[in-house]
Amino acid sequence: MDFIKDAIRTIPDHPKPGIQFRDVTTLLKDARAFRAAIDAMVQPWAGAKIDKVAGIEARGFILGGAVAHQLSVGFTPVRKKGKLPARTLAEEYELEYGTDTVEIHSDAVAETERVLLVDDLIATGGTAEASIKLLRRAGADVVGATFVIDLPDLGGAKRIEKLGVPCASLVSFDGD
């Protein structure tokens, strides 16, 4: 997985001083790394019964769409508030300063569908936790969550696992 990690660009001090932004767009433009990342994201769930993949806006759409394709299942976008045109379900969650909201269409998942959640990065886990709660409220069984990057110092993966959702990631960046 070193070449996957090497394909991820780090941008210092973005969006504010002291933050090391992990940019997966450099991975996405590298066909070999992108393919390897998708294959590795799918591998832990191969053989599991999965009905849908839910991807978190925006990079989770790219990765989740590719994962759904590999698994031959449908895709559900988890969007920011106000972006979906039909009737929605919403989940508000806490940010460092204020709140945010994620939404899905009210008919995005059927009762008891087994859903895999996908995004590029798990940091504190707030958006992923809100997405899981939202999908569960819609009747889905969230069977797992998969990410390219884990920032374990921020505790997001542990937060998701406390919800009873297995969490997988391809690479970790510890405090660097």
Task: Supply the residues annotated as catalytic.
Answer: 59, 96
With tokens 């066909």, the residue in question is 31
Instruction: State the greatest distance between any 2 C-alpha atoms of the chain, in Å, as a whole number.
Output: 44
Q: How far is CA 164 from the centre of its chain?
A: 16
What DSSP string describes 127-158?
A: HHHHHHHHHHHTT-EEEEEEEEEE-GGG-HHH
Give buried/exposed letters for 16-46 (b at 16+ CB in 10 A, else e). Answer: eeeeeebbbeebbebeebbebbbebbbeebe
Q: How far is CA 136 from the centre of its chain?
A: 15
> In the 8-state DSSP scheme, what is residue 38?
H
**Cβ neighbours of residue 82 under 8 Å, at least 6 residues apart?**
103
Structure tokens at 42: 């799918």
The rounded radius of gyration (Å) of the Cα atoms in the chain is: 15
